[in-house]
Structure 1
Amino acid sequence: MNPAVSEATALVMTRLIKRQAEVARAVQRHLASDIADLRGDPEILELLASSVEGNVDTIFHALRHNISLENIEAPTAALEYARRIAQRGVPMNALVRAYRLGHGMVLDVAAEEISRAGLDPETGFAVFERMTTVTFRYIDWITQQVVVVYEDERDRWLTNRNSARALRVREVLATDAGAPDALTTALGYPMRRTHLAVVLWCPSESGSEDGLARLEQFLREVAEAVGAQGDPLFVAADRTTGWGWIPLSPNTAAAVAGNVKQFVAAHSTAPRIALGTPLPGVDGFRRSHRQARRAQDVAIAGDTDGVTAAGDPGLAAAALLGGNLDEARDWVADVLGPLGCDTDNDARLRDTLRVFLRHGNSYKSAAEELNLHFNSVKYRVLRAEDRRGRPIGDDRLDVELALLLCHWYGTAVLTPG
């Protein structure tokens, strides 16, 4: 480097080092004011100030004494600040943006000091060019350091937090563990609300490495779509399954299952979903989850896509009856006979008979629901009785329950065609 430029750089940096504390305070105030994500409690703001001071001190002295960047270490406060904001969920881009803004302010102050130093234009330009080159290299290097620390801490902290939260959730599901307000604080979820329990899972053959992250994000999207009264709660049940709860107001609870189905139907890549019914308080938190788990069992056994809701007509009874599918299959065969075969024609006959019986033997009402002609319903009901081999009247309840099992479990309880 030109001796004159080196001497001028040392002069300017000596002047800047005297203003170091002032520069650091100005940068800290500007960052906290301009980047909303960096505002926080006094402790985190104090650590931001220490991080700025550490970076300013490091780069100023590196320039003053011509220290190579290969021979410096990242300021301890800067690394710790990256860890703390990772724990608080501050976006990484806010951290990187802070370094860019801080760099710009430092260069502005440097330009002022170069001007005040009375250097000739050529030397002044050379000094500023050197300072720009070195500081850009430093910002590139330090941001790589803090980003690595941020990502490592975020992964570690989320793992620990989610593990602790999942353990607490399982305690709540298993026992009467704690008062609502205490649980709200522990879980970060409003336990006094009405809760819609959700089970989300990806098909095992999907092989997605980010499956749980996708499930959590989809739960958030569903919660927003149905007007949740707060952030949903998500915990991992296993590698491909998540348990969730959406806090609702009583006014939106009644229609929420239909709204979830509508939302999911519009997303071709949606995971499979099982819903409980919306129920209030801590006990509702548990009961809705149990319902969602039973709905999931039915959906898996019946290989059902989309949304399976505990409030769907007949599902709760089907879940109880389907506890042992081998016995259920034998019983369905005994009750329905050939009508319980796994063929397309028998499926049409079963669905028609099921709707007919649910409407109190009304051909007209069944025809309206099935969008069929009155005579078509009557013909199919007669054909269903013929396939069964005996009339329905004597054991109508058994027939209805067997048809219900066929509707929800499909092939799992049918006789091969």
Structure 2
Amino acid sequence: MTAHHTSGPADWIYRLAPGRGDAPRTPASSAQSITEATDRLGPQPVAWAIAVGDELARVIIHEVPGLGGGPAPYETLRMGTEAATLYALLLLADPAADRVVPEESLLGDREFARRRLGLDKVLRGIRVAHAALTNALMAACQEIVPLPERAEQFRRVSELLFGFVDEFSSRMTAEYLAEHDRWLTSGAAAREETVRLILGGQPVRQEAASELLAYRLEGRHLAVIAWCDSPTADAAGDLQRAAAELLHRRGCTSTLVIPTGRTTVSAWGEPHAAPPTGTPGELPYQEGIRFACGSVRHGLPGFRQSHEDAQDTVRVMQLNPGSTGSVVDYPDVELAALVSADLPALRRFVSDELGALAADSRHAGQLRRTLRLYLRNERSLTVAATQLHVARNTVTYRVKRAQELLGHDLTDRLPELMTALEAAQTLGPAVLRPEEDGSHDGASRRS
């Protein structure tokens, strides 16, 4: 869609564009917001705003780490910085227009209040973003605007941004305090505080805590962490329903669901003694929702441990998001979770054990998968061929080629070899060597 504007002192705003060679970024704002901004400014200034919004979010987290908290909170923060950057461009392009601070730039406030982040940190984040946005606009102005006109444009940028930030800070403060009050008076505060104490290993009166949470703490527990990759959706309600549904389908008789942000919830359920039926991983959950499940544990310590298992599962899923499904159970990734606690050390281990097989390439991956299934099936060529849907001779060739690249007999370091293969299978590029890196063209260092 073509932008509509008349010539004027702010024409340089319409000539903004992301740097050459910069990979295009996916917008964090809603499709409607992007369409409206593109109609007014044009696609290139909007792309510039998306890139700058992403950079602002990174700068804020670097300067005020408490405002981070993982991929989902980061996307919420990025939506706010992107919306604020777009608003600033629209303001500079047409200062006389009647505009209000966009709601998308305020959504993170509710999450900050619920996460008990101090208002001082929120306001410091605004100041950091203001300075970074001012610098980005000044730099772009210096590059685009002729020298005789720069001083006036610098003045406009400074004046309009100070006015915007003053209004924005006031709105953020009001929203934060309102959300904080709502949270305190809703009863959610007491429940979330109780869960926080349990997860932190603090002493609680188990009977009183069970009554407050309406959830039996002395039983067996299956913990789930659910989050949504879509930062534009108001996903809190959908996430809570989805987490409760998954737990019920896992055979849980009662559930406890605690929102931990706009795009994340923690949940627990008390499963039946009998194994659950069904295949939860294949249920048609809303696109973008993912679930990390812990192990079934018992009692108050089990409530905490199952949640920690789920957290480790989240970490594994985020290390290799392309290869894990929407529902992942801790027992299925337990080995990868344990060995990836020190990721740099694991990368070295995988590289040393697998040699050329540690390359992140299609050919090396094919050999790794074949060798892994061959070893897991007690060296049965027939079973491995069936699972891979290839001929038995193909498995024979691949295993022989893999052993040549390893440079030693498969029994020499079998536990280490299997561990490296499992880590590569689950974590993928997070522990593999880029294909172009030729540092291990030959056999493994262990040979």
TM-score tier, shorter chain, comes to 0.5 to 0.7
> What does residue range 9-408 of structure 1 map to in structure 2 within 5 Å?
156=182, 160-175=186-201, 177-203=203-229, 206-230=230-254, 232-251=255-274, 254-255=275-276, 259-263=279-283, 266-267=284-285, 269=287, 271-303=289-321, 304-312=324-332, 315-408=333-426
What is the rounded CA distance, in whole Å, between the counterparts of 2:372 and 2:297 in structure 1?
29
Render the CA deviation track for 1:189-230: whole Å, top value 9, x for unaligned: 122332110011122xx2235222221121122234334312
Provide structure 2 residue ranges, at least 5 long, that are not aligned to the other structure: 1-177, 436-447
Residue aligning to 2:90: none
Query: What is the Cα deviation at residue 416 of structure 1?
Result: 0.6
Render the CA deviation track for 1:306-341: whole Å, top value 9, x for unaligned: 1121121xx212111101222211221111111111
Larger radius of gyration: 1
Contact 2:249/2:276 (CA < 8 Å) preserved in 1? no
Closer, same or farther in 2 for the Cα pair 1:224/1:316, shift >3 Å?
closer
Query: What is the Cα deviation at residue 185 of structure 1?
Result: 0.3
RMSD value over aligned CA atoms?
A: 2.5
Query: What is the Cα deviation at residue 370 of structure 1?
Result: 3.0
What is the rounded CA distance, in whole Å, between the counterparts of 1:159 and 1:371 in structure 2?
59
What is the rounded CA distance, in whole Å, between the counterparts of 2:298 and 2:236 in structure 1?
27
Closer, same or farther in 2 for the Cα pair 1:224/1:318, shift >3 Å?
closer
Residue aligning to 1:416: 434
Render the CA deviation track for 1:347-371: whole Å, top value 9, x for unaligned: 1211111111122222233233334
Q: Across the two proteins, how many residue pairs are aligned to each other?
A: 256
Closer, same or farther in 2 for the Cα pair 1:158/1:176, shift >3 Å?
closer
Contact 2:281/2:325 (CA < 8 Å) preserved in 1? no
Query: What is the Cα deviation at residue 297 of structure 1?
Result: 0.8
Per the alignment, in what secondary structure is the counterpart of residue 250 of structure 1? coil
Closer, same or farther in 2 for the Cα pair 1:268/1:249, shift >3 Å?
same
Closer, same or farther in 2 for the Cα pair 1:159/1:360, shift >3 Å?
farther
Render the CA deviation track for 1:254-298: whole Å, top value 9, x for unaligned: 346x632132xx335151111111223222212211111111111
Per the alignment, in what secondary structure is the counterpart of residue 215 of structure 2? coil
Instruction: Give me the identity figure in percent.
Output: 33
Contact 1:180/1:281 (CA < 8 Å) preserved in 2? no
Contact 1:275/1:309 (CA < 8 Å) preserved in 2? yes
**Higher mean displacement: 159-168 or 295-304:** 159-168
Which structure features the higher share of helix residues? 1
What is the rounded CA distance, in whole Å, between the counterparts of 1:226 and 1:199 in structure 2?
14
Closer, same or farther in 2 for the Cα pair 1:336/1:157, shift >3 Å?
closer
Per the alignment, in what secondary structure is the counterpart of residue 331 of structure 2? coil
Contact 2:257/2:267 (CA < 8 Å) preserved in 1? yes
What is the rounded CA distance, in whole Å, between the counterparts of 1:330 and 1:410 in structure 2?
14
Per the alignment, in what secondary structure is the counterpart of residue 402 of structure 1? helix
Closer, same or farther in 2 for the Cα pair 1:345/1:400, shift >3 Å?
same
What is the rounded CA distance, in whole Å, between the counterparts of 1:192 and 1:249 in structure 2?
14
What is the rounded CA distance, in whole Å, between the counterparts of 1:350 and 1:255 in structure 2?
33
Residue aligning to 1:141: none
What is the rounded CA distance, in whole Å, between the counterparts of 1:351 and 1:255 in structure 2?
30
TM-score (norm 2): 0.53
